[in-house]
Amino acid sequence: DAGVIQSPRHEVTEMGQEVTLRCKPISGHNSLFWYRQTMMRGLELLIYFNNNVPIDDSGMPEDRFSAKMPNASFSTLKIQPSEPRDSAVYFCASSFLASGYDYGYTFGSGTRLTVV
């Protein structure tokens, strides 16, 4: 398996533009997580999907952020409009979670977003 695949690896955009980050989880995993990492705040969970359904989006900073998981093999995180304070590394992770067992998380390589 190629692991969790994120695209693009780097994104530089101007303030106000729409940004879409993409994630392909590991085949067979039923849970997908979007995290944001900054020097100031460390790793923060943005949103968590289980079986393609959003379970917890309490970490989404504001309405400018939205995430979708239309099927088990694809998810997007969209920021519209983007702001300089959104600059961070965004990680996607997937896992197989079932009652009584956790197979652990696999993280993608991340998308480094710079908003100028």
Using rule CB under 8 A, residue 65 touches another protein: no
Which H helix or E strand runs over 91? Answer: strand 88-98
Among 55, 84, 85, 116, binds another protein (CB under 8 A): 55
Q: Per-residue string for binding with another protein, 28-47, x by CB under 8 A?
A: ---x-x--------xx-x--
- Which of these, 85, 50, 48, 33, lies nearest to 64 by C-alpha position? 85
Using rule CB under 8 A, residue 71 touches another protein: no
- Which of these, 32, 63, 27, 26, lies nearest to 47 by C-alpha position? 32
Among 22, 54, 87, 105, binds another protein (CB under 8 A): 105
Eight-state DSSP code of residue 82: -
Judged by CB under 8 A, which stretch of 15-23, 60-68, 69-77, 102-110 contacts another protein?
A: 102-110
Which H helix or E strand runs over 24? Answer: strand 19-24
